[in-house]
C-alpha cells in the first residue's frame, strides 16, 4: 500500500491588504463623504495668505575710526612720550620710521648653524618689536621673539599674563641647530604697559633667563665729521 502524504495546512487563496494600506484609501471614500470634503478643500486653498512685509535691511556697520576723545593735534606729543616709555622699559633706544617705533634684540648668545655652517645673528636671528599708534587711539604692538625650544613655554606664559596674544609659532630654519623658533605676538593698549609686558617675556630668553645680565644695547653711531 502506498503511504499517503500528511494533509498540509490550508493556505488562504485570497490576498489580504496590509494594515497601513487599509487605513485610508481615497478610492474607497463614499460619494457623500467626498461631497462634504470637497468644499472644505476648496475653501482652504482659496484662503488668503498672510504675507509678512520684508524686514528692513540692517544698517551697515561703520568701520572703526578714531576715538572721540583722541586729540590729533596733541598726538605727536603723546607719541613722543610713548616712545620714551617704551625705550625705558627695554633699556635701549629704538628707531622711529613711518610712524612705527622698532626695537631689535639680536640673539648673539646663540651659535646657530645650518648643516654645520654658521648663521650670523645679523641674518635675522633676533627678536623684533614694533609699536605704532592705531587711528582708534591705542598703541598696537606686533613683532616676534626668536627663541630656542626650551624658552617657548615661559615666554608664552609671560605674554598671556600681560594680556598679549600669541599669533603664531613656527620654526625659523630647516636643518638648523639648535632648533630656533619664531613666536609672533599681537597686543593693544597703552604703550608703556605693553612694553613692560613684552619686556618681562623677553627676560625669559638668553643669559637673562639664567640670572645673567640683559642683552646690551647696541652702541650709538658716531656723529659724522667733516673733513
Mean pLDDT in residue range 10-35: 56
Is 0.85 surpassed by the pTM of this model?
no
Cell 622699559 belongs to residue: 89
Q: What is 75-209's CATH number?
A: 3.30.1460
Mean pLDDT in residue range 94-104: 94
Return the domain boundaries, the chain: 75-209
Higher pLDDT, 150 or 65: 150
Q: Residue 214's pLDDT band (boundaries 50, 70, 90)?
A: low
pLDDT at 221: 45
Q: Residue 227's pLDDT band (boundaries 50, 70, 90)?
A: very low
Distance between CA atoms of 218 and 87, rounded to whole angstroms?
13
Amino acid at each position: 500500500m502506498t503511504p499517503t502524504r500528511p494533509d498540509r495546512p490550508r493556505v488562504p487563496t485570497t490576498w489580504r491588504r496590509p494594515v497601513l494600506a487599509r487605513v485610508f484609501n481615497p478610492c474607497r471614500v463614499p460619494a457623500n463623504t467626498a461631497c462634504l470634503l470637497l468644499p472644505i478643500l476648496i475653501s482652504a486653498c482659496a484662503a488668503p495668505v498672510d504675507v509678512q512685509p520684508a524686514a528692513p535691511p540692517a544698517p551697515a556697520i561703520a568701520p572703526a575710526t578714531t576715538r572721540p576723545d583722541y586729540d590729533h593735534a596733541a598726538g605727536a606729543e603723546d607719541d613722543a612720550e610713548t616712545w620714551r616709555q617704551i625705550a625705558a622699559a627695554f633699556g635701549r633706544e629704538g628707531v622711529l620710521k613711518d610712524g612705527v617705533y622698532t626695537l631689535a634684540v639680536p640673539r648673539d648668545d646663540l651659535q646657530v648653524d645650518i648643516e654645520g655652517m654658521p648663521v650670523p645673528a645679523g641674518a635675522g636671528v633676533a627678536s623684533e618689536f614694533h609699536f605704532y599708534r592705531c587711528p582708534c587711539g591705542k598703541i598696537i604692538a606686533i613683532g616676534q621673539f626668536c627663541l630656542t625650544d626650551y624658552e617657548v613655554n615661559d615666554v608664552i606664559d609671560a605674554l598671556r599674563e600681560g594680556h598679549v596674544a600669541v599669533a603664531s609659532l613656527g620654526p625659523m630654519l630647516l636643518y638648523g641647530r639648535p632648533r630656533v623658533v619664531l613666536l609672533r605676538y599681537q597686543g593693544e593698549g597703552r604703550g608703556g604697559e605693553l612694553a613692560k609686558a613684552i619686556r618681562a617675556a623677553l627676560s625669559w630668553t638668553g643669559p637673562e633667563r639664567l640670572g645673567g645680565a640683559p642683552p646690551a644695547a647696541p652702541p650709538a653711531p658716531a656723529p659724522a665729521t667733516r673733513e
